[in-house]
Amino acid sequence: MDCGLIGRKLGHSFSPKIHSLLGEYPYRLIPLEPEEVGNFLQKGEFHGLNVTIPYKKTVMEYCAELTPAAQRIGSVNTILRRPDGTLLGDNTDYDGFLYLLKSAGAQIEGRKALVLGSGGASLTVRAVISELGAREIITISRSGENNYQNLDRHADAQIIVNATPVGMYPNNGVSPVDLDQFPQCEGVFDLIYNPAKTQLLLQAQRRGLIWGNGLGMLVAQAKAASERFQGKKLPDELVTDITAKLERETKNILLIGMPGCGKTTVGKALAQKLGRPLADVDEAIVAQAGCSIPEIFAKEGEEGFRAREHRALVQIAKESGQVISAGGGIVTRPENRDPMEENSVVVWLRRDLHKLPTDGRPVSQSVPREELYRRRAPLYEAAAQVTVDNNGTVEDTVDEIIRRVMG
């Protein structure tokens, strides 16, 4: 049984990993250009396929039959080859988005909803929230009656769903809308799962809104598709278990703390034990600048160094599944907050002040350690999801981080 995913750009898809946890069948990524889709569907060898952007509508004309769900929604994300060789088009994105809303505790009935985007994913979103009783559903597109230039007409929106690729890796850090335009908003959902928290979701989280990303949806629709592929029902708890596993494996572990607290040493040992790559922000700065950090401070001052630090962090933190060692002062700049949070679990390494070295650390040499700690400790605490003491052995610290972060 040969299965796979077709789309145009698939390099960072989680689907092969998910399907490996759902059943024992080959599952491959099949990137196709638009002119290749028809020929592959007609002549390619496969038992079942998932379909992602931009082909969820394209594939419909090659299906001999559509399930009621695919007909109702008007897009296909799952294809089965039947015994006679013809293709059956189905839509399991419905199952996935329904799971996303329910797992987040969203209340849709009687609410006004904005759906950002008009592609195949948007069709699924609209079908689900319509059946859940939304009072009004407005589709926002780049042109047409309701577009991004007249959003003020819909300031009373209570539910917002991003069904566009805006903010998706590698173009992190941008958002299709500003939530400040929607004072009555209660919940925000983004079908993107890489990064884990898009700019839109970071803003929703800080406003205290209900929110959810597309990872649970991806797993739930994959489970539904796998049931079609295998011809059997799978346990519902698989969705929760696989989603949690993927979150643990894909999120970076980003270490922060005072200069000299052991971020580099612990980071190396942690990366080795987990089999992850290690990214050191200071090392990236030095490599780009072609000189040492004290030299950068001497030539450009702290402002110049912090600008370099931010650029390095943005590039490093958008990747997944790493251990990241960040500089001691990275928490002092508000612009670093978003890249630190979008894809990482932030761990504050604490170490007794008398154990902190100062050699080669310009800020530590210019400000007494006690004063520097007084200034930064609240910032470390605010930025971190996990705090671990690093006063024992490196091995003990690493084991504690793994226990606290990986479960």
List pLDDT tens digits, range 25-70.
999 999 999 999 999 999 999 999 999 988 999 999 999 999 999 9
Identify whether 229 is part of a domain. no
117 with 18, same domain: the answer is: no
Q: How many Cβ atoms are within 10 Å of 288's Cβ, its own excluded?
A: 13
Instruction: Give yes or no for residue 365 having a pLDDT over 80.
Output: no
Q: Does 94 score more than 70 pLDDT?
A: yes
Catalytic option among 56, 112, 197, 263: 56
Q: What per-residue confidence (pLDDT) applies to 34?
A: 97
Please tell me whether residues 402 and 259 are part of one structural domain: yes
Where among 27, 61, 91 does a domain terminate? 91
Whether residue 76 is found in the same domain as residue 122? no
**272 and 373 part of one domain:** yes
Per-residue pLDDT tens over the stretch 247-298: 999 999 999 999 999 999 999 999 999 999 999 999 999 999 999 999 999 9
pTM: 0.91
CATH number, domain at 69? 3.40.50.10860
81 beta partners: 87
Domain that holds residue 155: 95-213
Cis before 83? omega within 30: no
DSSP 159: E
| Domain annotation covers residue 240 | no
Q: In this structure, are 203 and 293 located in the same domain?
A: no
Q: How many domains does the chain have?
A: 3
| 8 A C-beta contact, residue 344 and residue 384 | no
Is 273 a residue of the active site?
Answer: no
Residues 33 and 56 in one domain: yes
pLDDT in tens, 98-119: 999 999 999 999 999 999 999 8
75 and 197 assigned to the same domain: no
Domain boundary among 76, 91, 106: 91
State yes or no: pLDDT of 12 exceeds 80.
no
Verify that 24 and 106 share a domain, yes or no.
no
Does the residue 230 lie in any domain? no
Q: Residue 255 contacts by C-beta under 8 Å, 6 or more apart in sequence?
A: 263, 266, 267, 270, 323, 324, 325, 326, 347, 349
> Do 255 and 400 belong together in one domain?
yes
